[in-house]
Amino acid sequence: MTRPRLTLDASSPSIIVPLTGRDLVELEGQIDALHAAAELFDVVEWRVDLFEPFTAGVRGEPSPAVGALERISELLPGRPILATFRTRAEGGGAQIPPEAYVALVEALASTGLAAAIDVEYRHPLAGDAIAAVHGRGIPVVASNHDFDSTPSAEELTGRLAAMEDAGADVAKIAVTPRSAADVVTLLTATEQRFRVAAIPLITMSMGGLGAVTRLGGGVFGSAATFATVGAASAPGQLPAEGVRRALDLLGGKNG
């Protein structure tokens, strides 16, 4: 079955909602809630690091994750799925050996059911992981999270450029603001990189202070925002219903 493609455009930002269930029962319950809110989102991100049948497995054996992706795909046939294993170093819920991380992303990509696979920009085997996913014909969303601060605009643009140079198809950065000036820094870096980037960008300033970036990021070049139908997967995510209304007012997909 041909899956929907991940198509991102800053002029009409996509809303991505997380699936965070600990097992198939929880995932199926969350998907039921998504069916009731189908008009509120565009893409689903499945957080594999929160899926206990995989994380509790032996040496990162990927088959439980592959089976779950097959079930998610079956239940959400019309939605692009972004498959993400977020390591603890990037704020995630689990840790696996670097080689198992590469094997996981390749196994998920090999199903052809994910529209894209997240690969952490600073993972020790990021290059191998990107090559493995691309080898299966699936796009890569390179990601980087800073839960302590907001780096300088120069540093942020440099990271986004490095993701593109490494072969990413989408570059994503999330930072933590300590002041309104930090939020401006994130938006400035986004706008500067957007002017020259050849790939879509996803950027956000986390927490309540950075909420404006989740609503108005498209103006500065961010092609997607994360919102919730149920459980959040990062600080400051807003309910999808409110985000959709805000994007519509700003000229988003349904505007």
- Compute how many other C-beta atoms are within 10 angstroms of the C-beta atom of residue 238: 18
CATH of residue 50: 3.20.20.70
Closest Cα partner for 72 from 55, 60, 56, 84? 84
Residue 254 falls inside a structural domain: no
User: Which residues carry out catalysis?
Assistant: 145, 172
Residue 151: its pLDDT value, please?
Answer: 97
Residue 165: its pLDDT value, please?
Answer: 98
Residue 1 falls inside a structural domain: no
Residue 108 falls inside a structural domain: yes
Residue 2 falls inside a structural domain: no
Residue 9 falls inside a structural domain: no
- Is-contact 143 87, C-beta < 8 A? no
Residues of the chain with pLDDT > 90: what percent?
87
- 224: which 2 tokens? 């997607």
- Going by pLDDT thresholds of 50, 70 and 90, the confidence category of residue 194 is very high
- Going by pLDDT thresholds of 50, 70 and 90, the confidence category of residue 238 is confident
Residue 205 falls inside a structural domain: yes
> Domain of 134?
14-249
3-state SS class at 143: strand
Residue 36 falls inside a structural domain: yes
Task: Say which DSSP state 199 is in.
Answer: S
pLDDT digits (tens, 9 = 90+) for 211-233: 999 999 999 999 999 998 865 65
- 229: which 2 tokens? 């139908």
Which strands sit side by side in the sheet containing 238-239, from one edge to the other?
A: 201-205, 170-175, 140-145, 116-120, 81-84, 43-47, 14-19, 224-228, 238-239
Torsions phi, psi for 232 (to 5 deg)? -85, 160
Residue 49 pLDDT greater than 50, yes or no: yes
Give the C-alpha separation, 169 to 152, whole Å: 24
Residue 254: its pLDDT value, please?
Answer: 42
Residue 90 falls inside a structural domain: yes
* Residues forming beta bridges with residue 173, ordered by sequence position: 144, 203
Number of domains in the chain: 1
Residue 2: its pLDDT value, please?
Answer: 65
3-state SS class at 50: helix
Element (H, E) at 171: strand 170-175
- 161: which 2 tokens? 């450029």
